[in-house]
A and B are shown apart, each in its own frame.
Chain A
Amino acid sequence: MTALIDARTLADRTTLDTDLVIIGGGPAGISLALSLAGSKLKVLLLESGGVNFDPAIQKMYSGAEAGVRYAPLDAGRLRQLGGGTNHWGGYCRPMDAIDFETRDWVPHSGWPISKRALEPYFPRAQALVEAGPWIYDQKGDAENAGAGSVLPLNGGGLYTSWFQFSKMRGDVLPTQFGNRYQEDLKRAPNITPLLHANVTAIRLGTNGKQVERLDVATLTGKHFTVTPRFVVLACGGVENVRLLLASNDVMKNGIGNQNDLVGRFFADNPIPRDVATLVSFAGPLAPFYGANQKLPDGAIMRATFATTAKFCRTAKVAGSLSTIEQPVDLDETGKAAVITTAIALGVDASNARTYSLGCGMELMPDPDRRLTLAGQKDALGLPRLKLEMRIADEDFARFRRTLVELGRQLLASKAGMLRINCHKREDWLKNMDWGHHHLGTTRMSADPKQGVVDGDGLVHGMGNLYIAGSSVFPSYSASNPTLNLVALTLRLGDHLKKVMA
């Protein structure tokens, strides 16, 4: 049994040899390490933070921003063992098959792999995020639990889909990978987790095709070197960019950046609140629409309105997951709209209930929504990042078409009606929240001119440097990324076992 080693206790100028070094102890890094536990590979897991939150370490993440208001770069992620899972909401949903496809109405879309390539890994990913049995769109399970009926939507462009949630422990947030899996990491004889170890440079051989060593430092002034056979960068969609761009002594534009793609296509899932008002003519919606519902088999589920692939194709919209937020009151015009429409449809709306609707949206890939190195440096001398955040009017226009279809379906099924609350760009941005899902900055493509990594996560032009996590997503889906990035990382684990054997 190894222990969690504090890099601050290592002798200065130590050199550590290893088969594989994983940079980053978040959900991707930990999942990858666990997938290699018990193998013959000697694995070093480097985490910049410790087990607990430390503001001084977190400050290493701060950076600059321009454009659309967005969460500060040191707010939406956590530099400690477990990474972002230390503050995630536990939402899980597998991406849809269409999310992987080249969609001619979504510029730059298309993964080099299909959903089928991930399917063998979803069961293990589901187990790692501790989301219980795999149910998702088998709606019968929620209904059979006596939790109520799904809203009839008359077979249109949206349907009731399901989130599942990572296991709750009383009031404690869902599975935090650092806390949950540190004993597993310690138990694995071939894994060495090293905390407080900040990679400050990825050093290439002179041919620029192979990582030779990593420069690592602690905030207490220790410096050491790692010499690996293979490297996996798993620091998240922001920090991966910083390390690649800042490691520019051999490749002057940064590693993997020969086509100026590293840091471009940054994305997140916008979560505009109160985008619409949904009326249910028949009375209160089933409780699983507005809150998590625990089923007898342990699964925790919540309903959401998802788009069908057919609707996405015909209406040329992106993915979205619209979710009931809370009950709201109608104003006089709203009451008049409900009374007049319900009477015309021959529906009794005397018990109608009204709710606000929020949404998780998929953004269009945008090369100019990007991270670049800024002039300022952090405590270890690494340049900080600047984010140019953008969101196009077309992103809102596409989601608006989805809301119109939901409204049409509610009327067609005589189940209710919808008010769209956002009309101008300012309306959408007014109540804008973000998923803090950092996506797309080292995108995956079989074509080196279109992507930073190939379909296996190998950085184009490199022989031994891989990237894990949602930074490789070339398009984003509206589904929350954690379950999906864990599945993708487990696939990388299998790939590494083969190529490193």
Chain B
Amino acid sequence: MKRRSIIAGVAGASAAVAAGLYRFTDIFVKHYPPTPYDDLLVQLVDRQQAAALGAKVARPDAPSLAAELRRDLKPDSLGATTEADVAAGRLMEVDGWLLPRTIALLSALASKV
């Protein structure tokens, strides 16, 4: 077997293992069970921390939160939406913390799934 083929094989196997680890374990990225709100929750980098925060939000059920968020939060726009919330003074108080409204609602949603 040529040396080049061996290297290519090892590289391919490594890539496959890495992809598997990435997809099926939490080593590289945290995985969550699928929810009806993944289109929204995918914008949270650390859903666990958000959920811990969102548990303090006194808001109703997940569907109503999701409906509100889908109205205002476009895909891949959490940063921009957050900044717009702040500029417009749309803040919510969560356990005393003054949070951009979208962060608060998204965190609340994360805590309910």
Chain A interface (Cβ within 8 Å of chain B)? 277, 332-337, 339-341, 343-346, 404, 407-408, 411-412, 417-421, 423
Contact = CB atoms under 8 A, between A and B. Distances in A.
Given A340-B53, A344-B79, A404 B97 contact: no
A408 B107 contact: no
B79 A346 contact: yes
B79 A332 contact: no
A335 B98 contact: no
8 contacts: A335-B49, A336-B107, A340-B107, A344-B102, A345-B79, A408-B91, A420-B96, A423-B96
Contacts of A407: 91, 98
Given A407-B98, A420-B96, A423-B96, A340 B82 contact: no
Given A336-B49, A337-B53, A411-B100, A344 B86 contact: no
A334 B56 CA distance: 11
Contact of B97 (A337, A345, A346, A412): A337
A345 B102 CA distance: 12
A336 B47 CA distance: 10
A466 to B, nearest CB: 47
Interface residues of B, number: 27
B68 interface: no
Contact of A417 (B95, B97, B107): B97
Interface of B: 44-46, 49-50, 52-53, 56, 78-79, 82-83, 86-87, 89, 91, 93-100, 102-103, 107
A408 B86 contact: yes
B82 A345 contact: yes
Contact of A420 (B46, B52, B83, B93): B93
Nearest to B87: A412
A334 B89 contact: no
Contact of A404 (B44, B79, B91): B91
Contacts of B56: 333
Contacts of B44: 340
B78 to A, nearest CB: 5
Q: Which 3 A-B pairs have the closest CB atoms?
A: A407-B98, A336-B53, A336-B52
Contacts of A411: 86, 91, 98, 100
Contacts of B107: 336, 340
B96 A421 contact: yes
B98 A404 contact: yes
Contact of B103 (A344, A418, A423): A344
Nearest to B51: A336
B83 A340 contact: no
Given A333-B56, A337-B99, A411-B86, 16 more contacts: A333-B53, A336-B49, A336-B52, A339-B46, A340-B46, A340-B50, A340-B53, A343-B45, A346-B79, A404-B98, A407-B91, A408-B91, A411-B100, A412-B83, A420-B93, A421-B96
Given A341-B99, A344-B82, A345-B79, A333 B52 contact: yes
A177 B82 CA distance: 53
B53 to A, nearest CB: 4
A344 B95 contact: no
Contacts of A420: 93, 96, 98
A333 B78 CA distance: 21
A337 B92 CA distance: 12
A405 B95 CA distance: 17
Most chain B CB inside 10 Å of its own CB: which residue of A340, A419, A420 = A340
Given A332-B52, A346-B79, A404-B91, A419 B98 contact: yes
A343 B46 contact: yes
A337 B87 contact: no
A341 to B, nearest CB: 6
Contacts of A421: 96
Contacts of B94: 337
A339 B82 CA distance: 14
A261 B93 CA distance: 42
B44 to A, nearest CB: 7
A336 B79 contact: no
A419 B97 contact: yes
